[in-house]
Structure 1
Amino acid sequence: MSSTTQHPDSFQSKSTLTSGASAVTLYRLAALEAALQLETPGLKLSRLPFSLRILLENLLRHEDGGSVTADDIKFLAKWDPKAEPSREIAYMPARVLMQDFTGVPAIVDLAAMRDAMRELGGDPEKINPLQPAELVIDHSVQVDEFGTAHAYDLNAALEFTRNRERYAFLKWGQTAFNNFSAVPPGMGICHQVNLEYLARVVFTTAPAEDGTVTAYPDTLVGTDSHTTMVNGLGVLGWGVGGIEAEAAMLGQPVSMLIPQVVGFKLTGKLKEGTTATDLVLTVTEALRKLGVVGKFVEFYGPGIAELPLADRATIANMAPEYGATCGIFPVDEETLNYLRLTGRTDEQIALVKAYMTEQGMFHTAETPEAEYSATLSLDLATVEPSLAGPKRPQDRVLLSGAAASFAKALPALLGPAGNKSVERQMVRWEGEGGSDLSASAIASPAGGDLVQVETLPVASLTVAPTSVQGRFGVDPDKYLDHGSIVIAAITSCTNTSNPYVMIAAGLLAKKAVELGLKTPPWVKTSLAPGSRVVTDYYTKAGLLKYLDALRFQVVGYGCTTCIGNSGPLPTDVSKAIEDHSLVAVSVLSGNRNFEGRISPEVRANYLMSPPLVVAYALAGSINHDFATEPIGFGHDRKPVYLKDIWPTQAEVSATVASCIDSTMFRTQYSTVSDGDANWQNLKFPEGDTYGWEPDSTYIRKAPYFDNMPATPADVQDIRAARCLAVLGDSVTTDHISPAGSIKLNGPAGKYLLEHGVAKEDFNSYGSRRGNHEVMVRGTFANVRLRNKMAPGTEGGVTRLLPELTGMSIYDASVIYAERGTPLAILAGKEYGSGSSRDWAAKGPRLLGIRFVIAESYERIHRSNLVGMGILPLQFEPGESAETLGLTGEEIFDIVGLKDMLDSKFAAGKNLTVKAENGTGTTLEFPVTVRIDTPQEILYYQHGGILQYVLRQLAGKA
């Protein structure tokens, strides 16, 4: 609702609430309930899940008779939990949260929109965030140096050197746009900063002309899928693509169907030896099996009282992994305790309590259970120590079965060059005294006769990224094996936000060091806290020195390994992996372990709690059986088992209570916007429009508005389309648009070399998202992508049709563009799962892809495809490219789309696709058009959401 629109207040809900010495305006749900009971006696809003009450207040406050009507409010108030979603609503979040990987392209788009607005004869100043937009620079730090005292300083310096141009662009954005602020690099991960500092729980407006202040629930959308972490605080928010976030910033409501809500009842209490990470992996597995894509998940039951806020945030963070739009907990006394701990003001905490109580949104033991679309339950006492992998977060494995699980998965993990007949034995690391690699016979790299390995002394436990052999005098060929752990990272917002699992990792490290254990040299170790408060409490607890002793030095404050910024492996480790086609392993306390994401050289990746990361780093292999095998050998060569060093819950709780206080949070966040000297001294351009540099390899003007007409052309049928790739199930946005390293010999690497960028300065795809030329060349360039049109290969390759010539997907798209051939993708189930990556839609659009036909889609990616003008189509249930006999070599026609959209699906959402196989035989099969809301029809008709918004702001739509 615009500021000039009169609020009808159809239900006389506008009122005043006194909190402390202040009075605020609010829109009372109780008044709405009373008004509705006149026509529906007995109606109770307490039957609604908390998440829907937040949506209901949002509609009530934004009622304008147009985008939000009284009927919309009534419909949601009378929500039928069993009904299939059908009613579209306009939801207006209070703010937008971004990180730099997704934030830079968003600001690039806004800058390009200002140029386009001027060309359309409009006012460029209209391209300005109307809602607060908060960006945290957290995704650009890379683990180049590790295991040394100067790891943090070197990585921070390299980060700034590589990203100076991007950071200058963001500083320009701070001055050019209103309502836009950026937290400088080195402060933490956006979701943890959001949880500890940015989240208000209850938002208030600036005083109006008459001095009134309106209070309402804090809500948001974010350009990172793990925006849901703040759901643990009772704040409703979820991840959207950058293009949707830009529209929200520009005042466009989020168009959404009223969702179904799944209730997840928690009972009991976690038993000794289990962690919040074990719990969230169990929850993820259960919800994936149930199927919650496009649904809200809400946690309830007596068990939530047993979970500290940090544990709730851990569970909420993983909502994208279990497929839900959000995973929310109610606001209760624990929420207030956390706000108090993290340094929020007494006035804000009092307002949260008063407002939420008044609105019936404050949870107590007496709160009645809401109605849900479906429910499931979990007794926390049944949770077992777990990890997840080797490819997906929902693939939970009991700790006791990890080695057997890896052995079972190994044949499928071996790449095209892998030798499945090779059997090798791991060399045991025995860490006595100065440590040695000892013993035993292992098979030679070629799988031939057994050879004896001599004992090799190690003088230091400091490893440089360049070479293990150079520092340690050891030969990686003699100790690396299938299953060797080459990366062990305590990383990511999921777990570094949780002091209980972080303290557990520190206590485990302390016991390990005191017993004489050390980390094998082939393990690349790292500690990347999500907040500087973590190192404050580690230092106060006296634990940091023990993590340092195991080479878990702080490498940076940001999203490192989990986003693919794990940095290079030591050169000889890398060479051993390549020479022998080894399936090396990473273990990380993150939330994502998709193929090719963590490191292009690591084929198996396992998610686990921080203490388990340390334990596996000590063991050195995923094949280790902690129940029967010692984790290592300590003083006097005594075997040490995991149970000997695992901290008790009492130890963890006592340490947390003694070493964490609100002063730490207040101190750290009092200067969170200042940045270091590099940030403060950074020069940046001035002006309301950006001065694009034609030679820049980081920031290029977005091409989506080039030659854009004032009014959109009619939707056209798609004829004579060719398939660019045929993909299987669980193709992630990492497969479509990787965030990690850029291959030297790929199209993007060649482009950078041609533009004078040295290999060591390539940085990552994520850091170059402001340059569409790099990103389009990196689309479908994941090293683990398997295109069925190019059998026996991995990576971004295809065959040009009809010639059947093998080449890169990008090079083929260029030739197709010259021929005027529209392109398509065929895919399996869960297409586009993973991060809310707008480049996974932008890249395909720039490649010339006009439509995708998949068996099913992940929520955010489907929305992003529509937002970029790509048509998402879905096979009928039980059908697939395989069952229909489609090879990708067909010529495809799609007709009748214009009439369907013009009629707003009056005759249904099914189209017929015609596929001619080149021999004159045509197959016809039905598909469902996955444009899900009337608003999305408008976006698609305009060629994309940004084009629609731009025309609307220019008065052309």
Structure 2
Amino acid sequence: MSISELDKELNKDSLNTLSSFEAGGKTYHYYSLPKAAETLGDLNQLPFSLKVLTENLLRNEDGTTVERKHIDAMAKWLKDRKSDTEIQFRPARVLMQDFTGVPGVVDLAAMRAAVEAAGKDPAMINPLTPVDLVIDHSVMVDHFGDASAFKDNVAIEMERNQERYEFLRWGQHAFNNFRVVPPGTGICHQVNLEYLGKTVWHKAIGDKTVAYPDTLVGTDSHTTMINGLGILGWGVGGIEAEAAMLGQPVSMLIPEVVGFKVSGKLKEGITATDLVLTIVEMLRKKGVVGKFVEFYGDGLQDMPVADRATIANMAPEYGATCGFFPVDEQTIKYMRLTGREESQLELIEAYAKAQGLWCEPGHEPIYTDKLELDMGEVEASLAGPKRPQDRVALKNMKASFELLMATAEGTEQAQETKLDSEGGQTAVGIHDSYELTSSQPLEMKGVKSRLNPGAVVIAAITSCTNTSNPSVMMAAGLIAQKAVEKGLKTQPWVKTSLAPGSKVVTDYLKVAGLDTDLDKLGFNLVGYGCTTCIGNSGPLPDEVEKAITDGDLTVASVLSGNRNFEGRVHPLVKTNWLASPPLVVAYALAGNVQIDLTKEPLGIDSDGEPVYLKDLWPRQQEVADAVAKVNTEMFHKEYGAVFDGDAIWQGIEFPKSKVYDWTDNSTYIQHPPFFEGLREEPDAISDIKNANILALLGDSVTTDHISPAGSFKPDTPAGKYLQANGVEPKDFNSYGSRRGNHQVMMRGTFANVRIRNEMLDNVEGGYTKFVPTGEQMAIYDAAMKYQGQKTPLVIIAGKEYGTGSSRDWAAKGTRLLGVSAVVAESYERIHRSNLIGMGVMPLQFPEGTNRKTLKLTGEETISIEGLSGEITTGQTLKMTITYKDGSTTTCDLKSRIDTANEAVYFKHGGILHYVVREMLKSA
């Protein structure tokens, strides 16, 4: 077959770019950017991430979803450094974790049921794009601090999640192009980095092999971690991911790209975690929401992929769609270390160099905007107490917490504050004895002590962000080793845990001889999963919980994760601090964040002498020597049978059927109502008339506030539902584990213990005012009452609505509660898209107008005109507000349907409804 014939089989290729190259003795075909540049002009100055998007357009040009004008727009981007052109991106694969993956498979199963009900073959519902689902979000830290913690937690996990795992085993068997990594293996992002990622993908078309960049979307916002390996990917809502795996392109505007130049080297004692927390702070201040960030500069030459992945992982925290690192020698070095085949490495290098995707020293693309960081200026840091971007220098931690306490108490000292020029808040005039005012007596295992404000009650080495990085993990082990040598012990009230992102971590800690010292300090292995970072921290010891509750104490967690939003880590822990793994160990020893670890001792050694952090902190050479013990054989050993699972997993029985057999008595998996009564054509959209406000919310309401997550109590709507169905509180498990049951999830939507509905005075938690009677009740209960009265509902919110993880249930739950529209001052990207994907209209206040200027109390009724006409992008709609006294006012709102595809999805009531209808038409 000639190239021209192959070209016709593949796509239009209007620029005649199909070319070939040799790698490892094989011939590969590819769509050449240098060839396209012969017509479009020099493309070499494009950011590397946009080169990947341009190749995607060249390869998928079909004259309909991808036209020549879309490719031309990429070249025009170089002149304007931005674009308002909408493109269709087709990722090579989809990545899921089980919390978001289970409802995705539930939706696929429901789609099969809908197709069967329509008299068609249900097997037409099948992933067309390869999907990997990694079970990593289900293990909880029930047991800790002893040698059997891992075994005990895994046993509980398997028992709790039997129904879910049976369902996933069914999906593994029923669907093509769908693989499952069993529990107890690792975190999806780390497994993706260490094993699944290819950097360059290839597939056979006819008798030719076509090479192209490895790209993906994932159902977790931290999918961005893979950008550290030169693989373009980001998090999307579970709804959008399901559409992608069913062959729908991801609709997006060509993004602005912010270049982040790094130079210099980290100082002695500074970690990759300190670096990423600094970058998060800088980029949040810069403002990169909806943009790509691309890293470049001489600092990359010696920056290992492990550090790059740490930075790329936290793109959601700095607000970007992704944080991209181009392919270079460090990429090849990492892939060789992690056991990729030499033939794959040869392909990567040859393709990247032929395509202009190989980063040469000194190359500086054109960017929309830029900022720079000399890594030599980075200092030891944490972030908290409730947002990842709120960096606090280690030297300011004590003062920062004291300021927080003073502010909470309304003291005069709270007025005397200043912002330290080197990062973090500093308090003025607060006495060191402040913590004694509300401490509580504590007795554990016969030892009496006191629990003070600032007590570290959770110290967790957890999360893909840092456990994927050998340098910070080895540093944690070295601190533990030195602490044990000096006779130090973890404070008794600290719940300690070690939850790595892959089994390789425990292998190299053991080879380095550091595992036993971590064990002696209570950092025993508790599981391979997200644990504390996702809210699966498990219960605190009864004595600690009682002391916190009795004294209404403000205590702390310190974790090596990426998220510390209110109510996420543990309901009783009000302040949560992100830190490097070695600092997690240090704070476990100190036992309180009201200690200046740069000046004050964190403990007393066996000779009665004070021990300072500097006495324990390892030198860079010590860390490097330990990291050198990580070897390729470890990766071969742990990933050799990654999809097999243990005997328990393999022994799970499941139905061998194309359509899932739903059971009414399951409390984990239920048939969702989204496709009930689905007709061939969608119903016409109507204006919203006389809607009540379900919740009146402030700024920075995250998907963690909206979406059910973590544990829940017996007196909540979800708890009452489960008890009514025979489930005892001890068996509630978590919201995340029950994402396949819409009855649980809709009851937990907007039920976060820290959410604040401004319709109520001084009330925290998922409550609202049922306006017709003035009663205070759970948001779910009120929503059901409104539905019973056929009353439409809206949500009113402030800035940055939906910040946080790509949680599909934040949108699904909103839809099931009967909310027709959300009106906010601004949105984060993923949640806005998810709302549209579930048929909920996202609307935006005009600049200078908000709930406060409109004097909303939540007792008003809302009508929105303009929905009954043609739905287009960015249209202006009219909102009429009727106040309690009968007076009215109007306000223009901007539709945040940003792309033509989104408009189509909204007309159909959601993206999955559109997909099902299209499949039924083509059958």
TM superposition score category, shorter chain reference: over 0.9
8 A Cα contact 1:223 1:242, kept in partner:
yes
- The equivalent of 1:284 in structure 2 is 280
8 A Cα contact 1:99 1:138, kept in partner:
yes
The reply on whether 1:12 has 2:16 as its aligned counterpart is: yes
8 A Cα contact 1:711 1:956, kept in partner:
no
8 A Cα contact 1:81 1:372, kept in partner:
no
The reply on whether 1:329 has 2:325 as its aligned counterpart is: yes
Across the aligned residues of Structure 1 and Structure 2, the Cα RMSD in angstroms comes to 2.0
8 A Cα contact 2:77 2:83, kept in partner:
no
8 A Cα contact 2:708 2:749, kept in partner:
yes
Q: CA deviation at 1:543?
A: 0.3
The reply on whether 1:269 has 2:265 as its aligned counterpart is: yes
Instruction: Tell me how far apart the structure 1 counterparts of residues 436 and 485 of structure 2 sit (CA, whole Å).
Output: 35
- The equivalent of 1:538 in structure 2 is 509
Q: Which amino acid aligns with 2:217?
A: V
**1:889 aligned to 852, 859, 866, which one?**
859
**1:506 aligned to 457, 477, 480, which one?**
477
The reply on whether 1:683 has 2:653 as its aligned counterpart is: yes
The reply on whether 1:377 has 2:347 as its aligned counterpart is: no
- Specify every segment of 5 or more residues in structure 1 that has no aligned partner in the other structure, as ranges: 37-42, 423-439, 454-467
Q: CA deviation at 1:627?
A: 2.2
SS in 1 for 2:880: strand
**1:182 aligned to 180, 183, 187, which one?**
180
- The equivalent of 1:547 in structure 2 is 518
- The equivalent of 2:446 in structure 1 is 473
8 A Cα contact 1:82 1:260, kept in partner:
no
- The equivalent of 2:290 in structure 1 is 294
Instruction: Tell me how far apart the structure 1 counterparts of residues 772 and 907 of structure 2 sit (CA, whole Å).
Output: 31
Instruction: Tell me how far apart the structure 1 counterparts of residues 94 and 34 of structure 2 sit (CA, whole Å).
Output: 28
Q: CA deviation at 1:16?
A: 1.8
8 A Cα contact 2:46 2:78, kept in partner:
no
8 A Cα contact 2:385 2:564, kept in partner:
yes
Taking a change above 3 Å as real, the CA distance of residues 81 and 199 of structure 1, as seen in their structure-2 partners, is farther
- Specify every segment of 5 or more residues in structure 2 that has no aligned partner in the other structure, as ranges: 1-5, 415-431
Deviations 1:324-343 (CA, angstroms, capped at 9, x unpaired): 00000000000000000000
- The equivalent of 1:462 in structure 2 is none
Deviations 1:300-331 (CA, angstroms, capped at 9, x unpaired): 01111131110000000000000000000000
SS in 2 for 1:79: helix
The reply on whether 1:655 has 2:626 as its aligned counterpart is: yes
Taking a change above 3 Å as real, the CA distance of residues 936 and 81 of structure 1, as seen in their structure-2 partners, is farther
Q: CA deviation at 1:71?
A: 1.5
Instruction: Tell me how far apart the structure 2 counterparts of residues 335 and 446 of structure 1 sit (CA, whole Å).
Output: 52
8 A Cα contact 2:601 2:612, kept in partner:
yes
- The equivalent of 1:118 in structure 2 is 116
Q: CA deviation at 1:935?
A: 0.5
Q: Which amino acid aligns with 1:599?
A: H
Instruction: Tell me how far apart the structure 2 counterparts of residues 412 and 585 of structure 1 sit (CA, whole Å).
Output: 16
SS in 1 for 2:607: helix
1:329-728, aligned counterparts within 5 Å? 329-366=325-362, 368-410=363-405, 469=443, 472-475=445-448, 478-657=449-628, 659-728=629-698
Q: CA deviation at 1:530?
A: 0.4
Instruction: Tell me how far apart the structure 1 counterparts of residues 7 and 746 of structure 2 sit (CA, whole Å).
Output: 39
Deviations 1:617-644 (CA, angstroms, capped at 9, x unpaired): 1000010111221110002111000000
Taking a change above 3 Å as real, the CA distance of residues 202 and 262 of structure 1, as seen in their structure-2 partners, is same
SS in 2 for 1:213: strand
Deviations 1:727-747 (CA, angstroms, capped at 9, x unpaired): 111111110013100111100
8 A Cα contact 1:191 1:493, kept in partner:
yes
Instruction: Tell me how far apart the structure 1 counterparts of residues 250 and 434 of structure 2 sit (CA, whole Å).
Output: 59
**2:199 aligned to 192, 198, 201, which one?**
201
Q: Which amino acid aligns with 2:879?
A: V
- The equivalent of 1:458 in structure 2 is none
- The equivalent of 1:70 in structure 2 is 68
SS in 2 for 1:17: strand
Deviations 1:769-817 (CA, angstroms, capped at 9, x unpaired): 0000000000011011111111111110011013211100000001000
- The equivalent of 1:431 in structure 2 is none
SS in 2 for 1:955: helix
8 A Cα contact 1:710 1:956, kept in partner:
no
- The equivalent of 1:873 in structure 2 is 843
Taking a change above 3 Å as real, the CA distance of residues 265 and 258 of structure 1, as seen in their structure-2 partners, is same
Q: Which amino acid aligns with 1:63?
A: E
1:759-838, aligned counterparts within 5 Å? 759-838=729-808
The reply on whether 1:924 has 2:890 as its aligned counterpart is: yes
SS in 2 for 1:897: coil
8 A Cα contact 2:7 2:13, kept in partner:
no
Q: Percent identity?
A: 59
- The equivalent of 2:424 in structure 1 is none
Count residues in correspondence.
901
SS in 2 for 1:337: helix
Q: Which amino acid aligns with 1:29?
A: L
Q: CA deviation at 1:192?
A: 0.2
8 A Cα contact 1:296 1:326, kept in partner:
yes
Q: Which amino acid aligns with 1:280?
A: V
Taking a change above 3 Å as real, the CA distance of residues 104 and 5 of structure 1, as seen in their structure-2 partners, is farther
Deviations 1:143-190 (CA, angstroms, capped at 9, x unpaired): 000001100000010000000110111111011000000000011100
8 A Cα contact 2:438 2:452, kept in partner:
no
8 A Cα contact 2:199 2:231, kept in partner:
yes
Q: Which amino acid aligns with 1:517?
A: L
Instruction: Tell me how far apart the structure 2 counterparts of residues 12 and 217 of structure 1 sit (CA, whole Å).
Output: 19
SS in 2 for 1:578: helix
- Please say which of residues 79-88 and 57-66 is displaced more in the overlay: 79-88
**1:32 aligned to 30, 33, 36, which one?**
36
SS in 2 for 1:637: coil
Q: Which amino acid aligns with 1:490?
A: I
The reply on whether 1:738 has 2:708 as its aligned counterpart is: yes
SS in 2 for 1:263: strand
- The equivalent of 2:418 in structure 1 is none
8 A Cα contact 2:61 2:68, kept in partner:
yes
Q: Which amino acid aligns with 1:773?
A: Q
**2:881 aligned to 908, 915, 923, which one?**
915
SS in 1 for 2:161: helix
Q: CA deviation at 1:714?
A: 1.3
- The equivalent of 2:43 in structure 1 is 45
- Please say which of residues 63-72 and 227-236 is displaced more in the overlay: 63-72
Taking a change above 3 Å as real, the CA distance of residues 365 and 699 of structure 1, as seen in their structure-2 partners, is same
8 A Cα contact 1:413 1:604, kept in partner:
no
Q: CA deviation at 1:401?
A: 0.3
Instruction: Tell me how far apart the structure 1 counterparts of residues 434 and 902 of structure 2 sit (CA, whole Å).
Output: 60
SS in 2 for 1:30: helix
Instruction: Tell me how far apart the structure 1 counterparts of residues 174 and 656 of structure 2 sit (CA, whole Å).
Output: 8
Q: Which amino acid aligns with 2:789?
A: R
Q: Which amino acid aligns with 1:172?
A: W
8 A Cα contact 1:413 1:603, kept in partner:
no
TM-score, structure 2 length as denominator? 0.95
- The equivalent of 2:244 in structure 1 is 248
Q: CA deviation at 1:23?
A: 1.2
- The equivalent of 1:230 in structure 2 is 226
Instruction: Tell me how far apart the structure 2 counterparts of residues 223 and 810 of structure 1 sit (CA, whole Å).
Output: 26
- The equivalent of 1:461 in structure 2 is none
Q: CA deviation at 1:84?
A: 5.1
8 A Cα contact 1:113 1:705, kept in partner:
yes
Q: CA deviation at 1:496?
A: 0.1
